[in-house]
Structure 1
Amino acid sequence: MAAVRSEPSVLHLDLDAFFAAVEQRDKPSLRGKPVVVGGIGPRGVVATASYEARAFGIGSAMPATQARALCPNAAFLGGRFEAYRAVSEIVMGLLRELSPAVEPLSLDEAFADLAVTDSGWDVERVRTVAADLKAAVHDATGLTASVGAGTSKLIAKIASDLDKPDGLVVVEPGTELDLLHPMPVRKLWTVGPATAERLRRAGVHTVADLAAVDETELVGLLGQAHGKLLARLSRGEDDRPVSPHRESKSVSVEDTFERDVVERALLTENCDRMAATVSRRLRAASLSGRTVTVKIRRHDFQSHTRSTTLPGPTDDARTIAATARRLLAEIDTSDGIRLLGVGVSGLVDWAQEDLFAEDADDEVPEPAPEPAEPAVRRWTPGQDVRHAVHGDGWVQGSGVGRVTVRFETRWTPPGRIRTFAIDDPDLTERPAVVPESGAAGAG
């Protein structure tokens, strides 16, 4: 095996059942109970399941209908990205106190390179630092994290998953192959279901099986880049640096029109088509990205862009299209558009599905109908609310003109449940993130 580094100085931190854990922290009545976070509609997908829900067989990327069948009494909640981002910022800050080289992969996981500012990282020293980091994360956020450490990003990421939840695994240098070779090939970076099935048909089931295949044969089976990459990974060879400032890469598509386009429907149609193309290119490269950008050039050749950053990386056509549509809607196109472009940047090597999408197909969404007048108030399970009389709480459910609220917060005991008219003027949305000193009591 090629020696990448001799010390286990690469850390990978992964917050346990992140979205569900935040919900259980902030909703006392859900602690110790099955919680499922994700798309809550009939075609929604599970983003995260609490460990109590996982005991029923519920897992990420599972259709919400299947999850409800497995555990109908679980709490099914929509996402509260404001709360998740706030926790993520705290955790990333704690990592940066250890090292300036921190590479976030998503809101709930990141690499850190301890060797950037110091040396002498033997196993015990790394274990001590990782334990202190886990304690600091729990003190600051109330959540648990699993940490893995090793001589490479590959080993550190695999190690963080070995003893979940609340795990800590440091892989001794020189033992990497002992860890890797018994594992199924799906554990390797870039091996998704399609690649795993292709390898299975070739008789490759474990990383050891993969390492025994001649590299030329792998190239013939998987292509030049992917075949050579997996040959290296099967031998434990991973020299990728921890990149706090990743190379500015993007995948984008843009078209120049023969005439200035003012029709919003035509621009939207082109926006959806470009999003689908960007999605296909991302998936072909086994990449996903967090930042969606729309670019336009006006009739006077002035260019403008609008961008937004998503909670986590995606390669999903629906998510890219819906986001691009929102950005396009912010731009005045009445004078005509000569060029339109859609792009995704902030790319990472681990593709993450858009698990909050309500549609399991790869098609982009149909144009949303204009809202009826008067607009009907919508309440999402898990949403933070405030009642003028009863205080702060969260939505348990709504329907048939009623909304049910449990009045409790992170800082209170489990609270009482009350039901209101869906348009009750005393019931309003409230920020998901409030200072501890400002937490209101439950009614």
Structure 2
Amino acid sequence: MSEAPQRKIIHVDMDAFYASVEQRDDLALRGKPVVVAWRGPRSVVCAASYEARVFGVRSAMPAVRAERLCPQAVFVPPDFARYKAVSKQVRGVFERYTDRIEPLSLDEAYLDVTAPKRDLGSATAIATEIRDAIREETQLTASAGIAPNKFLAKIASDWNKPDGQFVLKPAMVDAFVAVLPVGKIPGVGKVMEAKLAELGIATCADLRAFGEAPLEARFGRWGRRLHELSLGIDAREVQTERPTVQISSEDTFASDLPLDALEPHIRRLAASTWAGYLRERAQHPDRVARTVVLKLKTADFRTLTRSLTGAEPPTSEHALAQTACDLRARVGLPAGTRYRLAGVGLAGFAEPDGSAAQDDLFA
């Protein structure tokens, strides 16, 4: 790592993006707790303004829970066409400084400004100018993290939210990362955090002390990756064209269903996923998905996935649907469990060189 050219990465994250767009476009919403979501028992929160977050409202939370936490919240149905238009504006700002842009979603992106179009003397100055331009041209605010790699830049962008930025210089990395809770590492959810806690691991310093080999023995390649991140090491480049790593479809049911009633829904979702897969294959015929994934969410909002990577990839919609249906046998929950959502996905894409691109489905 010390011999490689020092990258300068900026992670830009729009502040409460969907909710902020709504507040910008409707003066009556400013200063009020705004929840972007459809009302109803099956809906989830797409975004919450900072006024709503004070009450504990968060994205992906059931809308009914958000309403209980903040009865005075103003619910606004999402308008994704409008959000995409604003996201395009923000992308235009980025393109003035670099072509090395990796969008993660409508509201965040990585920028590699190691060799920028406009040299302002530092990545920090570029981030400041980008945020100023976003504010002037969209009347919205963004936060930014500046660091030597993507992992650190993403963490840094959250450090001074909202409407702030944080710089992690190379000399600061070791001490900064050592005290980070493992829950701050992207990909470490509640389940993984609990598994690490059982091993006495709470911080990145604990990961370092546990050692790379024992982590890899327990968690495979993910264990090795955890050890690298605990040292602040992340060699990933900013990818201007990200290959497809997942194709999936999911649906929330009108009412909760038992496992044995899910087959027609799984087959319907498999048809949608297969259609998306055929479109992907038409553009990239060399890339083949090898892993079938079934996602289920229980009535009490517990999410679980079951996957199968067979000796041969699925070759038809029927084969995909049948494998997804068969994965129900591996759910392992009591027979009386009811489910509010199902999803069917394809992952484990093999690259033309034989390597695999794998990512979490339905993230």
TM-score calculated relative to the size of structure 1: 0.58
2:240 aligned to which of 241, 244, 249: 244
Percent identity, aligned pairs only?
36
Displacement of 1:251: 5.2
> Would you say the 8 A contact 1:8–1:173 is kept in 2?
no
State the partner residue of 1:215: 212
Show structure 1 runs of 5+ residues with no match.
254-265, 279-290, 297-302, 306-314, 320-337, 344-358, 366-443
How far, CA to CA, are the matches of 2:223 and 2:124 in structure 1?
A: 34
SS, match of residue 246 in structure 1: coil
CA gap 1:76/1:173 in 2 versus in 1, 3 angstroms = same
> Would you say the 8 A contact 1:148–1:170 is kept in 2?
yes
CA gap 1:269/1:14 in 2 versus in 1, 3 angstroms = closer
1:139 aligned to which of 136, 140, 149: 136
> Would you say the 8 A contact 1:115–1:121 is kept in 2?
no
State the partner residue of 1:181: 178
Are 1:48 and 2:47 an aligned pair? yes
SS, match of residue 53 in structure 1: helix
1:295 aligned to which of 278, 285, 290: 278
SS, match of residue 97 in structure 1: coil
Are 1:340 and 2:339 an aligned pair? no
How far, CA to CA, are the matches of 1:40 and 1:318 in structure 2?
A: 22
SS, match of residue 206 in structure 2: helix
Q: Which has the greater radius of gyration?
A: 1
Displacement of 1:93: 1.4
1:204-353 counterparts in 2 under 5 A? 204-222=201-219, 224-250=220-246, 270-273=267-270, 293=276, 295=278, 339-340=316-317
- Deviation >6 Å, runs of 4+: 118-122
Q: Which amino acid aligns with 2:142?
A: A
TM-score calculated relative to the size of structure 2: 0.70
Q: Which amino acid aligns with 2:169?
A: E
Show structure 2 runs of 5+ residues with no match.
250-262, 284-292, 298-314, 322-337, 345-363
SS, match of residue 215 in structure 2: helix
State the partner residue of 2:77: 78
Q: Which amino acid aligns with 1:165?
A: P
Query: In the TM superposition, what whole-angstrom CA distance separates every residue of 1:258-280 from its partner, at most 9, and x where no partner exists?
Result: xxxxxxxx9976342467xx7xx
State the partner residue of 2:2: 3
> Would you say the 8 A contact 1:8–1:126 is kept in 2?
no
How far, CA to CA, are the matches of 2:61 and 2:265 in structure 1?
A: 30
How far, CA to CA, are the matches of 1:155 and 1:268 in structure 2?
A: 41
CA gap 1:77/1:292 in 2 versus in 1, 3 angstroms = farther
> Would you say the 8 A contact 1:4–1:239 is kept in 2?
no
Q: Which amino acid aligns with 1:146?
A: S
How far, CA to CA, are the matches of 1:89 and 1:318 in structure 2?
A: 33
Are 1:361 and 2:340 an aligned pair? yes
How far, CA to CA, are the matches of 2:53 and 2:215 in structure 1?
A: 35
How far, CA to CA, are the matches of 1:118 and 1:3 in structure 2?
A: 25
How far, CA to CA, are the matches of 2:68 and 2:128 in structure 1?
A: 39
State the partner residue of 2:64: 65
State the partner residue of 2:331: none
Which one has a larger percent helix, Structure 1 or Structure 2? Answer: 2
CA gap 1:146/1:117 in 2 versus in 1, 3 angstroms = closer
Q: Which amino acid aligns with 1:68?
A: E
